[in-house]
Structure 1
């Protein structure tokens, strides 16, 4: 189960809506071994694509160095789907390289960057196997 605070949930959704029709991407870091998504990090989709996302390699390397220095790890890795449901594509599954992370997908297909609800779902992806998990949004993490 993914437990995420309202502020972080809102930041992920806002990023997905703002970047629509391009896929948005980023991560939420947390203390190593804690499973606590605490530090929201919005990234740039280097692919600039409505059907594919790619982290900028230099930006990602700098972020990992920063997380190592802070004893953090990626707790949530997120991106949006602009025309399809919030379910990992074959490409998403193939790129999933953090077995301990929650992979969050936000679908903006229904309302784009306009007001309206989004589909917000979380998965664990380990060795190519996808399992959906419950998402609990709390006012703030305990």
Structure 2
């Protein structure tokens, strides 16, 4: 199950709506091994495409260096689908390289960048196997005792 705080959920949805009809993309980092989605990182879709996303390789390298320096890892990898349902495409599945990450898809096909609900779903993708998981949106993340 993905547990995400309301502010991060709202930020992901706002990014998806704002970038529509181009696919939005980004990550939420958290302490390595914690499964805590704490730091929202909006990325630019270097492809500028309504049908696929691509991180700028320089930006991505810098982000991974920063996460490494902060002892973080990608907890959520998100992007939007602008004309299809919030389900991983064949390309999304092939590109899923973080076995511990939650892959969030937001579909903006119904309302675009206008007011209205979106389809917000989360998946685990490991070795090409897609498993949908429940999403729990909480007011704030609580610290678990170690």
> Above 0.5 in TM-score?
yes
Cα distance in 2 for partners of 1:103, 1:57 equals: 19
User: Which runs of 5 or more residues in structure 1 are unaligned?
Assistant: none
Counterpart of 2:56 in structure 1 is 56
C-alpha separation in 1, matches of 2:52 and 2:72: 27
Equivalent in the alignment of 1:74:
74
Task: After superposition, give the CA deviation of every residue in 1:90-134 in whole Å (9 maximum; x if it has no partner).
Answer: 000000000000000000000000000000000000000000000
Question: Using the alignment, how far apart are the partners of 1:55 and 1:123 within structure 2?
Answer: 20
The alpha carbon displacement at 1:27 in A equals 0.1
The unaligned stretches of length 5 or more in structure 2 are: none
Partner of 2:120: 120
Q: 1:93 corresponds to which residue?
A: 93
Question: Deviation digits for residues 48-93 of structure 1, max 9, x if unmatched?
Answer: 0000000110000000000000000000000000000000000000
Deviation at 1:9, TM superposition (A): 0.1
| SS of structure 1 residue aligned to 2:17 | helix
| Aligned equivalents of 2:54, 2:127: Cα separation in 1 | 20
Tell me, in whole angstroms, the C-alpha distance in 1 between the residues paired with 2:95 and 2:87.
14
Per the normalisation by structure 2, the TM-score is 0.97
Alignment TM-score, normalising by the size of structure 1: 1.00
Tell me the matched-pair count: 142
Q: In structure 2, what is the equivalent of residue 137 of structure 1?
A: 137
Residues 1:29 and 2:58 are matched in the alignment: no
Partner of 1:68, secondary structure, is helix
C-alpha root-mean-square deviation of aligned residues, in Å? 0.2
